[in-house]
Amino acid sequence: MGVCSASCGGGLHTRHRTIKHHALNHGKLCTGSLTETEGCDAGKCTSATPTPCKAGAWTDWGVCTPSAQKFRERHITSEGSNGGKPCTLPLKEVMHCVVVVDCKVSEWTAWDACDKKCGGGQKQRHREIVQPPNGGIPCPPDLVMTQGCNSEPCGRTDCKTSDWTAWSTCPITCGTGQQERTRVILEASQAGGEGCEEALTELRPCKTAEGKEPPPCSVTDCLWEEWSDWSSCSCDCDGGQRVRDRHIKRIAQKGGKPCEPHAKEEIAPCNTQKCSKKACRDAKWDDWEEWTPCSKTCEGGLTNRVRTLAVKANSCGKPAAGVSRMYASCNQGKSCQPSVDCEFGEWGEWSACTADCNGVKRRSRIISVVGKGQGKFCVGTLKQTGKCNPSVGQDVPAKCQKKPPAPCELTAWQEWGICSATCDGGQQSRARSIQGDPAVSGPDCLGALSETRGCSTKPCPVLCTPVDCQWGHWSQWSACDKCGGEKKRTRHVQVLPTCLGKPCAAEAAEEATNCTRKCHEPTYCAFGDWKDWGLCSTSCGHGIRSRIKNLELRSAPEAIRVLTAGSNEKDAVFSQKFDQLEQMADTLQTRRLQEMVVAFACGLMSLVVGLFLVRIVRRPRSGYTVLDPNAMLNVSVE
């Protein structure tokens, strides 16, 4: 026992014990107290009331330990004192318990190899019990798992694709662009074979031959063309018109400066002399010019040709009938995809002979280059058979002379297989085989066992939004082909139709109207007001827009009325300035005439004086007598 907890009045002393050997192999478990407390009497304390010892309540049983034991304990809440009754009771107890253990299994092993390569087989995997259960979760019943494998039929054919073509030529020389390469399906899968899942088209940013990116495009400013030559005069006499024009030679790009808003067409008078009476001359067309290059190199575009007047009508002649410009379609049905002819690869080596006597050997080849566009597609055999033992041209071996060959028969051709492409050209094949055992078939088994042909040659549809044809702005009216005749104006196709959009009507390219000019009467030419600005040539970046004003023919009174029309203050000021300008012009004309008269008189006087001095200088010196310096004009000759 330990030391008494009090020096008088009664105390406690405690002793402890532990489990020395735990139960093993289902041995008897320990049960009882591990701590005991006993009172001790150290004598009565003076003048004190005796107090008995008190213990607290037991705690709950603890968790069952791996050794199948659980514990609980209690504590002394009040020790005995002054001769009170001491505590003689246990403070810690142990008790047998059952340990609950769940079943534990290992992870699944990897799947075993399939017991068959084709036609349906089985493969297994398993797991084992690592820890048996003891009142816990039981072990699962499935410790071995079986699964089907290689269910595809034997003799299947997987899908095969061709090699990648070379990268296409980059469409740009600077900036950003894309290159494309393609491949096609050479042989479709058969008999449950694996299908092709690879991409048939690849894109990449443009690269040069050295593998570098193209250089960035330089800034391009807008540039006007030079003026064209003046056209022929619209009239031979009594005043006509001639025109010249110019166009935008280069549109601004990459942030370049746009063109300044200068005049696009100029008109000048010509042949203003009066007409003399002569015979009427009718207008005649010149020959058509050559067709212009097609606007597109493939899949449809537009071309046009023009003609001009070889002879123009005079004032009483008839104008030329018909249009001066004609449009036509071009490059219709021409694919944009480059045409490539299909090419077979080389034949492979002959296989081993199927028999020692009168057997059959085989060889095959593939398509090395697939046809595209308008190119030729492969038509021919892919597999061949030939006789062997003996081969063609060889003698029959001695051992085979007594054994006649069995007759050989080939099965009927199978249906043509699925085309390797649905559009833009593909290949499809069909096959047949040797009927019976090929090892004993005779030498009659000669010919093709597989052949191919082209298919789906129609071009692939392009997924795009239909775009209708759009005409550009009308040009200015041309000069009259004769006095009181007609004038024309034209326009060009600005946006070509694509993706089955509406085409442009050819007759909408030219318009004609009567000339309202009064012939053989004095007329005055003047510009009218500016028209509204046209639409911009582009929707983003730098573009061009234009506006026009037309020349108008006016008589002199009409011109005056134009200047004096209106009663507002602005028109009155303008009229006053016009009158002042006329007065200044008259004053300048009078002053110029006076200056010319004075200049003429001074010049005449200078000429007289000069002639007189020349005459004096040319006389001999000895023949002169000077009488008086003041009388030089009185000269006598001796």
| Residues listed for the chain | 638
pLDDT grade for 131, boundaries at 50, 70 and 90: confident
Q: What is the pLDDT of residue 53?
A: 82
Residue 72 corresponds to which amino acid? R
Please give the Cα distance from 415 to 432 (Å, whole number): 10
Q: What is the pLDDT of residues 562-591, one digit of tens each?
A: 444 444 555 566 567 667 777 777 787 777
Q: What is the pLDDT of residue 327?
A: 76
Name the most confidently modeled range: 45-54, 162-171, 321-330, 619-628: 162-171
Q: What is the pLDDT of residue 364?
A: 84
Q: What is the pLDDT of residue 110?
A: 92
Calculate the alpha carbon distances from 15 to 70, 74, 91, 385, 529 in Å.
20, 14, 10, 105, 128
Q: What is the pLDDT of residues 205-257, one digit of tens each?
A: 888 878 888 887 777 788 888 888 888 787 777 777 888 888 887 777 777 78
Report the pLDDT averaged over residues 588-599: 78
120, pLDDT greater than 70: yes
Is the Cβ–Cβ distance between 164 and 128 less than 8 Å? no
Report the pLDDT averaged over residues 63-87: 78
Report the pLDDT averaged over residues 392-407: 70
pLDDT grade for 176, boundaries at 50, 70 and 90: confident
Q: What is the pLDDT of residue 286?
A: 85
pLDDT grade for 277, boundaries at 50, 70 and 90: low
Domains and CATH numbers, the chain: 11-96 (no CATH), 343-455 (2.20.100.10)
Identify the weakest region by mean pLDDT among 16-30, 93-107, 423-437, 439-453: 439-453
Higher-scoring residue by pLDDT: 567, 633: 567
Tokens coding 382: 């892919």
103, pLDDT greater than 80: yes
128, pLDDT greater than 80: yes
Strand partners, 224: 248
430, pLDDT greater than 80: yes
8, pLDDT greater than 80: no
Q: What is the mean pLDDT of the chain?
A: 75
Report the pLDDT averaged over residues 545-554: 77
Q: What is the pLDDT of residues 12-66, one digit of tens each?
A: 777 878 777 777 666 777 777 777 777 776 566 655 677 788 888 889 888 887 7
Q: What is the pLDDT of residue 580?
A: 74
- Tell which residue, 267, 314, 275, has the closest CA to residue 482: 314
Q: What is the pLDDT of residue 44?
A: 61
Report the pLDDT averaged over residues 123-147: 86
What percent of the chain is modeled with pLDDT above 70? 79
Report the pLDDT averaged over residues 104-128: 87
9, pLDDT greater than 70: no
pLDDT grade for 460, boundaries at 50, 70 and 90: confident
Higher-scoring residue by pLDDT: 514, 530: 530
Q: What is the pLDDT of residue 43?
A: 62
Tokens coding 544: 């061009």
Higher-scoring residue by pLDDT: 529, 333: 529
Tokens coding 407: 């007759």
Is the Cβ–Cβ distance between 545 and 473 less than 8 Å? no
DSSP conformation letters of 355-418: SSSSEEEEEE--EEE--BTTSPPP-EEEEEEEEESS-TTPPPPHHHHSSPPBP-EEPPPPPP--
Q: What is the pLDDT of residues 345-390, one digit of tens each?
A: 888 888 888 777 777 788 888 888 877 767 788 888 888 887 787 7
Cβ atoms < 10 Å from Cβ of 636 = 8
Q: What is the pLDDT of residue 517?
A: 56
Q: What is the pLDDT of residue 481?
A: 62
Name the most confidently modeled range: 114-123, 438-447, 623-632: 114-123
